[in-house]
Amino acid sequence: MRKTLLVCLPIVLLLSCKLMKKEEAKENVKSMTEKTLYGMIGADSVFQYTLTNKNGMVVKILNYGGTVTDIITADKNGKMGDVVLGYDSLSGYRQTGNPYFGCLVGRYGNRIANAKFTLDGKEYTLAVNNAPNTLHGGLKGFDKVIWTVKSFDDSNLSLSYLSKDGEEGYPGNLSVDVIYSLGDDNGLKIDYTAVTDKATPLNLTNHCYFNLSAGADSTILNHELMLKADKYTPVNETLIPIGRIDDVKGTPMDFTTSKTIGRDIAQVAGGYDHNWVVNRSGNDLEMIASVYHAGSGRYMEVFTTQPGIQFYTGNF
C-alpha cells in the first residue's frame, strides 16, 4: 500500500544573455535530439540524451545518475559555450573523486549528522561517507545508479528509479520520477515526484556546478549573485546546522543585493556551503536567486517551490 505521496517542482533554471538582441536568436535551429552510447557498466549501457530548443541551447543528460553533462548556451555575442562542469567520459563520473558533477542526489541531499536518524521511534544507521556523517544518499546514492528512461523527445527526458526498502539503510520502497524539460525560453525545468510505502527521509536535488563564463574564467569569484533570503542556517565544523536561523545582514552571507561571490568569501572559513532560508510564502514556483557574468553577458535565474537554497562554491 502506498503510504506517502511527495510531489515537488524544486527547480527551474532560466539562462539568457542581457546584451544579446532578440533578432540574433536562432529561431529555426534544426533539432539535435539524439541518444548516443556513452559507455558500459558491466553489461549495462549508459546513454547520453540530447535536448535542444529553437535558440540552439543544448542540454545533455546521462541515464547514469541522471547526470547533466552539458548545458550549452549563447553568450552576448552569440557564441555557444558549456556552462556546467563535468568530465569527458563515463570513467570520470564513476571515479571516487567525482564531486557529484551534474548528478541527481538522493535519497537525501546534503548531510545527515553522525550517519543516523530516528523515525517513528526507531533508529536507523547509515553508511559514513563524509566522516562522521552520511552525505548525498550514502555510498551508492542516486548519482551512482542507472535510471530507467520512460520517455524522450527533443525537449523532455523522463527518468525513473526504484530505491528498495533498506537501500543504503533507508526504510521503504521509494519510487522516484524525474523529468528534465528544456523550453524555448531557455529554461531547464527539473520536476521530481516520489512515492514511498513507508515513512522515510527524502531530499532530492541536482548537483550541477555552474561557471557562466563557459571556462573563460577559471573561477566564479567575479560572478554576481543575488539570493532572495534574509536568513541562513549556520553550521558546525562538519557542516551540520546547529539549530539556529540567523540574519544575513552585516555578514558575508548577505546576498540580498547582488554582489560578486569573491567579495566576502575570504571571511567564510572554507568558502560558501550553506543553506539560505528563502523569503517566500506558500508553495508556488518563485524566483529566488540570480547569477550574472558580465564578461559573457550570461544571466541565470533560479526558481523553486522549496523553502531553502544551498549555495556551494566548490571548496573541497
Per-residue pLDDT of 183-216, as tens digits, reads 999 999 999 999 999 999 999 999 999 999 999 9
**pLDDT given for residue 16 in this prediction:** 67
Predicted confidence band of residue 76 (pLDDT cuts 50, 70, 90): very high
pLDDT digits (tens, 9 = 90+) for 266-308: 999 889 999 999 999 888 999 999 999 999 999 999 999 999 9
Cβ(4)–Cβ(199) below 8 Å = yes
> What is residue 53's DSSP assignment?
-
Q: What is the mean pLDDT of residues 108-119?
A: 98
Domains of the chain: 1-209 (2.70.98.10), 216-316 (no CATH)
**pLDDT given for residue 12 in this prediction:** 65
User: Which amino acid would we find at residue 60?
Assistant: K
Give the least confident one: 52-56, 83-87, 165-169, 281-285: 281-285
**pLDDT given for residue 208 in this prediction:** 97
Residue 98 pLDDT > 60, yes or no?
A: yes
pLDDT digits (tens, 9 = 90+) for 211-234: 999 999 999 999 999 999 999 999
pTM for the full predicted model: 0.91
| 203-209-213 Cα angle (round to 5) | 150
Predicted confidence band of residue 6 (pLDDT cuts 50, 70, 90): very low
Q: Pick from 63, 2, 9, 56: which is nearest to 31 by CA?
A: 56
pLDDT digits (tens, 9 = 90+) for 12-59: 666 766 544 434 444 444 455 699 999 999 999 999 999 999 999 999
**pLDDT given for residue 285 in this prediction:** 93
**Helix/strand/coil percent split, the chain, to 5:** 5, 45, 50
**pLDDT given for residue 13 in this prediction:** 67
CA distances from 141 to 117, 121, 162 (A): 17, 25, 12
**pLDDT given for residue 25 in this prediction:** 42
- Please, what is the average pLDDT of the chain? 92
Q: What is the mean pLDDT of residues 257-262?
A: 98
> What is residue 234's DSSP assignment?
-
